[in-house]
Amino acid sequence: MRDAGEEAADRPTGDPVFRARGVTKVYRMGEVQVHALRGVDLDLFPGELVVLLGPSGSGKSTLLNILGGLDTATGGTVEYRGKELTRATERELTEYRRRHVGFVFQFYNLIPSLTAVENVAVVTDIAAEPMPPEEALGLVGLSDRLHHFPAQLSGGEQQRVAIARAIAKRPLVMLCDEPTGALDAATGIVVLEALERVNRELRTTMALITHNADIAEMADRVIRVSSGAIHSVTRNDRKKAPREMRW
Amino acid sequence: MKALRRKLLRDLWGMKGQALAIAMVIVSGVATFIISLSALDSLRETRAVFYREYRFAGLFASLKRAPESLADAVRAVPGVDRVETRVVATANLEVEGFPEPVRGLLISVPDGAAPALNDLYLMRGRPVAAGRDDEVVASDAFALAHRLNPGDRIGAVINGKRKVLRVVGIGLSPEYVYQVAPGSIFPDPKRYGVLWMGRKSLAAAWGLEGAFNDLLATLSPGASPQDVVDRIDGILSPYGGLGAYTRDDQVSHRYLTEEFRQLGTLASVFPVIFLGVAAFLLNVVVSRLVSLQRDQIGVLKAFGYSNSQVGWHYVQLIVLIVIVGVAGGLALGAWLGRGMARLYLAFYRFPQLHYELRPAVAVSGAAASVASAVLGAIQAVRKAALLPPAEAMRAEPPERFHVTWPERLGLRRILSQPARMIARNLGRRPAKTALSILGIGFACAILMMGNVQEDAVGFMVDTQFRLSQREDMTVTFLEPASARAMSELRAISGIRHGEPFRSVSARIRHGQRSWRLAVQGFPREGSLHRVLDTRLRPLRMPEEGIVLTDYLADRLGVRPGDKITVEVLEGSRPVREVPVVGVVGEYFGVNAYMDLSALNRLLGEGNAISGAFLAADLEDRQKVYDALKGMPRVAGTVVREDAIRSFYETMGGTMLLFTFVITLLAGTIAFGVVYNGARIALSERSRELASLRVLGFTRGEISYILLGELGVLTAAGIPLGFLLARWITAHIADQMKSDLFRVPMVMAASSYGFAALVVVVSALLSGLLVRHSLDHLDLVAVLKTRE
């Protein structure tokens, strides 16, 4: 495991958005105890696109969930812009998710009883200064699918609705858990383009989980995770555009 | 929150079948609540208005004969406000075209003035004109039974003299809202009628000129009723006073009050069951919804919806279902409540119905529904609200199953693989299984209770008339007669057998407690009119001592072997100590029995009799009636068959409607419980069942697994329902116990069968609906869905 100081050379300038130190997580799954994280140190900086790369079960989703305030750490500290998330109350975490974080999940997690525009509206209804749902769907190229129900959309379209739902509140950070995991390559590239555009145009800090090494080429930094710990951190000198990628 | 609200409505639409089933159960609960309480309120209000406007008396006293001047002595009693004296006479009436004996009660009204107390509400015609000795106002129930109109004539034998009376008006009195003849149990307006006649004419006919034999009074505010009663008794006893009593003991008022009390009991039992079941169903359905929407809850939370917002989302869903139920229940309740109140009006005679559905009743019905529903579902909602978002996004961990106890007991080898699945599914959530069985049990119990009243009343009537009162008719004399009168009766052609009886007004005391009743003496060797012991066996009257109805013995606090004081209120008014020698179980009224000779010894009157029980063959009846009509000393004749017939005539309609409504409402519970159980089982297991279909199971085989589970629940629920019905009925019967009647615990085999049948049909119906979905299970789609 590497000390945070050793990464100094790779680190962009400015205060980190996230600062995690010694994060551990143990949870029970049925009758089994799972050590998902075994002491993770991590910094994420404003505007960067980081890919968390690792095989399934490596703990990357757990880490992302803790950063997003969806889950609580068993030990260690996580700071978001100087505030300690690990000490936040349930109410503060809700407020944090509502104001600052946008999520994209592998299985889209759209609400099946709501149309595309309504799925986005679920979030804009409670956000402070959201963009109109139609505009968010426009950014992901779905202006002509506004009133379709999830069941009437392809997987790629559903995931783009999920991205629109995440960006519509203009979040400071976006956390994407295997956003292309359930998609074929061509559709996956369309989704990654949408994410890359959001990162570029809205300057949103973005952490993206994948087990696909090819996708890592679009990142500013690549953090490799295995067995609940960070294995290595590398910096891409040249980011590839999603269009240039293949897998 | 607009988008979320839309989700709410669509979710609701998606589960409309289940939501409707639950709403129907709530409709039933609210409706029963509204029906009973609004009918009760309306009847109370209707009665209060009638009593007030027609100046119903607060105190009543009958006596042999007293000079009019004695009224002033009563007026002078502290606490007495107004006093009205009357003449009350009995008569045998002859109505054209009706061959059977009709008993009449003639009540005097002041000449040329309205009665100061117990005024008459004149429905048609006019009051009796002053100075006319042949005019009467007939009671509405009697007029209706015989289609009498103003101008019609009826014959009357008053005091042995025949007279033709002209009906000039049809009226109602607060005193006879419930018209039941003395000694009878049920109203029989065809054979018992009340007539009002001018005071002078009636006094002349009854030999009471310048005198009275009945007295009404009102009490001034703050007066002690017991003091006033005691003082009036003191004044009237030298004049043959039979003991004054307050409104609480007035027959019509008593019956009404008892009826209202029963309604109140029903109002508390049924809605509690319905709303309890609704709460359980909501719990089951919302729990399932929450577990189906785990990932949606996770997303909402991930995007910043708070616990309370998520909780409120599901509470709104419940509230929407409840609103539908409450609205339907209020409408149905108001409609049926009015109908129910009208039905009561056919029984009891009131000038008009003042139907009222108090806002407080409607609001409390609605509030009780919302509260019980939210209470029922709160645990499921809490689970949704507190679900940690990261966990919510994960699939639910596999359910824990275990080998069930029937399997461990060695049934494992006998049970087929699908049967084991059924057993383990049921054993997985024992609480839910138990509550489902309880729900079906309650449905079954309510169905039984719809019939149980009929069963009980049928049994009561049967016991009363086939085991106890086996005489064909009862003849009462105007005055106690000698044994020779008995021989005259026996001599009438057509009479097969006759037995005398003696009946005497008395007050019996034990310590501080007392009761006013008629002590009845029967010959010990009697075979017509028999007293039954607590196990319904004919009791041989002991030679000495008195036998009491068990209810009365309880009220007086006496047991066989104790001594009670009998204060006779007639003749020389002897007061004697008499040992209690037995207790009898009776369903109607409270009575005290003695051997005829023992009673006569106590009275010191020799061999006097008050009347006789007679047996006559059907074909000889008319001859007997005619002969009795010609006997001047006969005050009245009651025919047994008629009492039974008239009872079934009057009760039949009401019972049928009541049973129908209850059956419908209980059916909704059975359907609601089974249908919701089936839908949820289907949603929980569609994946597993589809997998089995892929493995080669037939539709029938997978239906067996799913519907077999419901079959087990239903089969267990029905016998539980039988037990619950017995338990609830016993509770209601205990609540309704009064000196007027005690309802025995009787349930006919047909009631068990009927309840079980309705439950099974409801279960089959829900099974068919679910079977339809099972047959259309999309195998590929189900296997693809992520879980």
Give me the pLDDT at residue A1, please.
Answer: 40
pLDDT tens track for B314-334: 899 889 999 999 999 999 988
Placement of tokens 């993770």 in the chain: A40
DSSP 8-state secondary structure symbol assigned to residue B620: G
Answer positive or negative: Cα dihedral of B138, B140, B146, B151: positive
Q: Over the stretch B125-142, which tens digit does the pLDDT of each residue have?
A: 999 998 888 999 999 989
CA distance B398 to chain A (A): 8
Question: Which among B2, B296, B390 has CB closest to A65?
Answer: B390
ipTM: 0.74
Question: Searching chain A, which residue's CA lies closest to the CA of residue B4?
Answer: A122
Reading the block at residue B666, the tokens are 């209980």
Helix (H) or strand (E) holding B616: strand B609-616
More confident residue, A79 or B456: A79
Q: Which of A72, A97, A127 sits opposite B302 (nearest CB)?
A: A97
Which is more confidently placed, B342 or B192? B192
The per-residue DSSP string of A52-114 comes to EE--TTSSHHHHHHHHTTSS--SEEEEEETTEEGGG--HHHHHHHHHHHEEEE-TT----TTS
Q: What pLDDT digit, counting tens, does each position of B28-46 carry?
A: 888 888 888 888 888 899 9
pTM of the model: 0.74
B300 touches chain A (CB under 8 A): yes
More confident residue, B710 or B60: B60
Encoded tokens for B61: 């006293």
Distances (CA, A) of B606 to A133, B158, B501, B599: 106, 27, 13, 10
Q: How close does chain A come to B352, measured CA to CA in Å?
A: 54
Does B396 touch chain A if contact means CB atoms closer than 8 Å? no
Whether A68 and B302 lie within 8 Å, measured CB to CB:
yes
**Cβ–Cβ < 8 Å for B689, B702:** yes
Share of chain B above pLDDT 70, in %: 93
What pLDDT sits at residue B540? 84
Out of A46-50, B391-395, B721-725, least confident range? B391-395
Q: Nearest-5° angle of CA B463, CA B609, CA B93? A: 75
Chain A contact present for B4, CB below 8 A: yes
Composition of chain B by helix, strand, coil, percent to 5 = 55, 20, 25
Q: Tell me: the pLDDT tens digits for B419-430? A: 777 887 788 788
Cβ atoms < 10 Å from Cβ of B106: 23
**pLDDT score at B1:** 55
B518: phi then psi, degrees, rounded to nearest 5:
-105, 120
Quote the pLDDT of residue A187. 85
The pLDDT value recorded for residue B204 is 93
- Min Cα–Cα distance to chain B from A113, Å: 6
The pLDDT assigned to A12 comes to 54
Nearest chain B residue to A106 by CA: give it.
Answer: B393
Judge: B295–A107 Cβ closer than 8 Å, yes or no. yes
**Tens digit of pLDDT at every position of chain A (247 positions):** 444 444 443 445 578 999 999 999 998 777 788 899 999 999 999 999 999 999 888 899 899 989 998 888 999 999 999 999 988 888 888 889 888 999 898 888 888 888 899 889 888 888 888 999 999 999 888 999 999 988 889 988 999 999 999 999 889 999 999 898 888 888 889 889 989 988 998 889 999 999 888 899 999 999 999 999 999 999 998 888 888 887 6
- Answer with the residue of higher pLDDT: B610 or B655: B610
pLDDT (0 to 100) of residue B60: 96
Q: With 70 as the cut, is the pLDDT of residue B144 above it?
A: yes
- Which chain B residues touch A96 with a CB distance below 8 Å? 304
Residues in chain B within 8 Å Cβ distance of A102 = 303
pLDDT at B659 over 60: yes
pLDDT, position A226 = 92
Q: What is the pLDDT of residue A5?
A: 40
Query: Per-residue pLDDT averaged across B444-464, rounded?
Result: 80
Q: What is the pLDDT of residue B352?
A: 83
Residue of B nearest to A28 (CA): B397
CA atoms within 13 A on the CB side of B111: 11
**CB-nearest partner of B298 from A99, A109, A122:** A109
Contact B726, B747 (CB under 8 A): yes
**Residue B303 pLDDT exceeds 50:** yes
**Residue among A97, A138, A98 at smallest CA distance from A117:** A138
Nearest-CA neighbor of B499 among B485, B480, B517, B479?
B485
What's the average model confidence in pLDDT over B600-612? 88
What is the helix, strand, coil percentage profile of chain A, to 5? 35, 25, 35
The mean pLDDT value for B452-465 works out to: 78
Does the beta-carbon distance from A111 to B398 stay under 8 Å? no
**Beta partners for B152?**
none
CA of A9 vs chain B CAs: smallest distance (Å): 34
- Name chain B contacts of A98, Cβ cutoff 8 Å: 303-305
pLDDT at B641: 65
Q: What is the mean pLDDT of chain B?
A: 85
B780 pLDDT band (50/70/90 cuts)? low
A170 in B contact zone (CB under 8 Å) = no
Can you tell me the mean pLDDT for B147-169?
92
Region B659-675: mean pLDDT is 80
Q: At what angle do helices B16-53 and B307-347 cross, to 10 degrees?
A: 40
Q: Mapped to the 3 state alphabet, what secondary structure does chain A carry?
A: CCCHHHHHHHCCCCCCCEEEEEEEEEEEECCEEEEEEEEEEEEECCCCEEEEECCCCCCHHHHHHHHCCCCCCCEEEEEECCEEHHHCCHHHHHHHHHHHEEEECCCCCCCCCCCHHHHHHHHHCCCCCCCCHHHHHHHCCCHHHCCCCHHHCCHHHHHHHHHHHHHCCCCCEEEEECCCCCCCHHHHHHHHHHHHHHHHHHCCEEEEEECCCCHHHHCCEEEEEECCEEEEEEECCCCCCHHHCCC
- Is the pLDDT at B159 greater than 60? The verdict is yes
- Kindly tell me if the per-residue pLDDT of B66 is higher than 90: yes
The contacts of residue B698 (CB under 8 Å, 6+ apart) are none
Mutate to test the interface with A, among B16, B299, B386 (most CBs of A within 10 A): B299
